[in-house]
């Protein structure tokens, strides 16, 4: 250990940024903190040169490296599996350049999504990707191809990455992509890195695409008597040329937990068309554009909502109220987690299959007795489920969870879906991925890993890596 420390001090000149004793447990885990790894050193890098130096050293000595952003992942992808070095990028968090003429911003990977969004919006610009966890880093968002709320209209993180500076496993510094809009100049290496969960290279600089900030954004909360009716109306909204930015669905049971957690109350009483029924599910939409465009979209969807059985229709013109309603949505994972251990699922199905899939989930839950709370990005088929442990002992929980997940994922693939829409595979989902994915697909992913990191030092044993 003394030798490792002495070697690392030659690369990282500040001993305060190298921890080799009593590494805080949070760095050995993910946001959930249940799976714990082990490491010989935790390093807080502050420059590309330091990242390169650490990787050159690790490469030479075949030492495992786990890159880490803000550690908010939910799948164990920052749990060091093979010891070695945790390479924390959170202190590389500067904004390097705002180029308003090319609509790009260049940042270091450790900047938090929240800080980037605030910075560009204060200048009349907009970074559309909007995953629920605003304290995630941009490097982490890129490494998981984070999705989030606004994917329906704007797409996912991948769509906003113009270029990256990388350090490959052997310490080579390389740039992939540029500020240019178009690029047919050889293989798109950038796209291999996006969503690779830190298995192929470490991101040290990010050139991101921006758009002008929309003039107005307004959200609408629509209560429904049941989940089926709510989800059933989503396709109608999408077809209505109303161009929603976000379309989220939530069951009443999970909203109740979110309300308690965030201290905000959702309206659940019968509205104008309520006919005495109470809300059992909600669709939360948002629209953006000029004020008049937004007003038209809100009205177009109002008619469709009532035609499709909504109990009420609540445009949230007051930004404070809208922020409170969204705060409940943003808090759902943490709200469920506060009540019971749970396994968060983020599978994705074709949008026209969402309703059928949720029905399958409810049937499975009734049959197996395993509580499954559903919410998610209804507009893009990204179903979030919290599979709730309740008072099961460890052995029963592991066994029953595995049986339920096997059924869930098998059905997901049957209807054309995928195991992860945005969280990644990490260590939690790789078993099911290997079971369901096309073997040729898995094989080529592993060949790419072997080509870029033949010694398997970067984030080995997670995700698709056999």
Q: Where does this chain bind ligand FAD (CB under 6 A)?
A: 31, 66-74, 77-78, 89, 109, 131-133, 136-137, 139-141, 143-144, 146-148, 197-198, 202-203, 333-334, 422-423, 459
In whole angstroms, the minimum distance from the beta carbon of 197 to ligand FAD comes to 4
In whole angstroms, the minimum distance from the beta carbon of 199 to ligand FAD comes to 7
- Nearest residue to 239 via CA among 311, 300, 292: 300
Nearer to ligand FAD, 137 or 310 (CB): 137
150-173 exposure pattern, b = at least 16 Cβ within 10 A, e = fewer: bbbbbebbeebbbbbbbbbbbbeb
In whole angstroms, the minimum distance from the beta carbon of 6 to ligand FAD comes to 26
User: What residue is closest to ligand FAD based on CB?
Assistant: 140
Phi/psi region, residue 219 (left: phi>0; alpha: psi -120 to 50; beta: rest), is beta
- Nearest residue to 286 via CA among 377, 179, 197, 196: 377
Nearer to ligand FAD, 148 or 417 (CB): 148
- Nearest residue to 182 via CA among 212, 152, 157, 162: 162
E runs forming strands in 116-188: 125-126, 161-168, 173-177
Phi/psi region, residue 217 (left: phi>0; alpha: psi -120 to 50; beta: rest), is beta
Compute the distance between CA of residue 98 and CA of residue 83 in angstroms, rounded to an integer: 38
In whole angstroms, the minimum distance from the beta carbon of 65 to ligand FAD comes to 9
Nearer to ligand FAD, 163 or 271 (CB): 163
In whole angstroms, the minimum distance from the beta carbon of 275 to ligand FAD comes to 34
In whole angstroms, the minimum distance from the beta carbon of 338 to ligand FAD comes to 11
Nearer to ligand FAD, 71 or 379 (CB): 71
Compute the distance between CA of residue 142 and CA of residue 437 in angstroms, rounded to an integer: 23
- Nearest residue to 133 via CA among 417, 337, 347, 388: 337
Nearer to ligand FAD, 74 or 120 (CB): 74
- Nearest residue to 425 via CA among 440, 405, 411, 407: 405
3-state secondary structure of 332: helix
Q: How far is CA 260 from CA 135, 229, 257, 331, 381, in A?
A: 21, 25, 5, 10, 27
Nearer to ligand FAD, 313 or 326 (CB): 326
3-state secondary structure of 358: helix
In whole angstroms, the minimum distance from the beta carbon of 17 to ligand FAD comes to 16
Nearer to ligand FAD, 238 or 333 (CB): 333
In whole angstroms, the minimum distance from the beta carbon of 369 to ligand FAD comes to 27
Nearer to ligand FAD, 132 or 177 (CB): 132
E runs forming strands in 210-302: 211-212, 216-224, 246-251, 281-289
């Amino acid at each position: 250990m003394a030798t490792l420390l002495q070697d690392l001090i030659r690369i990282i000149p500040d001993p305060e940024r190298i921890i080799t004793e009593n590494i805080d447990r949070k760095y050995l885990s993910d946001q959930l903190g249940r799976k714990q790894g082990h490491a010989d050193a935790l390093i807080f890098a502050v420059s590309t040169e330091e990242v390169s130096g650490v990787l050159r050293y690790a490469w030479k000595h075949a030492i495992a490296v786990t890159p880490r952003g803000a550690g908010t992942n939910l799948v164990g992808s920052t749990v060091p599996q093979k010891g070695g070095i945790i390479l924390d990028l959170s202190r590389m968090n500067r904004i390097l350049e705002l180029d308003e003429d090319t609509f790009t911003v260049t940042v270091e990977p450790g900047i938090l999504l929240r800080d980037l969004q605030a910075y560009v919006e204060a200048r009349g610009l907009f970074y559309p990707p909007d995953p629920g966890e605003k304290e995630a880093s941009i490097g982490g968002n890129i490494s998981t191809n984070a999705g989030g709320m606004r994917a329906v209209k704007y797409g996912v993180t991948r769509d906003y990455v113009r270029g990256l500076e990388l350090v490959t496993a052997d310490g080579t510094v390389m740039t992939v992509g540029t500020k240019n809009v178009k690029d047919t100049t050889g293989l798109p290496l950038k796209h291999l890195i996006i969503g690779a969960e830190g298995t192929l290279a470490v991101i040290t600089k990010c050139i991101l695409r921006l758009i002008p900030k929309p003039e107005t954004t307004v959200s609408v909360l629509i209560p429904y008597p049941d989940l089926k009716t709510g989800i059933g109306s989503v396709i109608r909204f999408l077809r209505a040329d109303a161009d929603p930015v976000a379309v989220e669905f939530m069951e009443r049971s999970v909203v109740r937990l979110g309300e308690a957690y965030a201290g905000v109350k959702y309206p659940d009483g019968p509205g104008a068309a309520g006919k005495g029924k109470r809300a059992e599910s909600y669709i939360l939409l948002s629209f953006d554009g000029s004020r008049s465009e937004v007003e038209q979209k809100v009205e177009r969807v109002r008619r469709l909502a009532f035609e499709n059985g909504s109990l009420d229709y609540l445009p949230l013109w007051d930004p404070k109220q809208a922020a409170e309603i969204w705060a409940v949505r943003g808090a759902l994972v943490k709200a469920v987690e506060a009540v019971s251990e749970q396994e968060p699922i983020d599978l994705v199905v074709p949008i026209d299959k969402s309703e059928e899939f949720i029905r399958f989930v409810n049937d499975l839950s009734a049959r197996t007795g395993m509580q499954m709370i559903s919410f998610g990005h209804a507009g893009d088929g990204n179903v979030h489920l919290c599979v709730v442990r309740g008072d099961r002992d460890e052995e029963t929980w592991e066994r029953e969870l595995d049986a339920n997940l096997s059924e869930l994922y098998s059905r997901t693939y049957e209807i054309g879906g995928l195991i992860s829409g945005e969280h990644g595979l990490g260590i939690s989902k790789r078993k099911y991925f290997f079971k369901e994915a096309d073997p040729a697909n898995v094989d080529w992913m592993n060949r790419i890993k072997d080509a870029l990191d033949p010694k398997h030092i970067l984030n080995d044993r997670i995700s698709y890596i056999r």
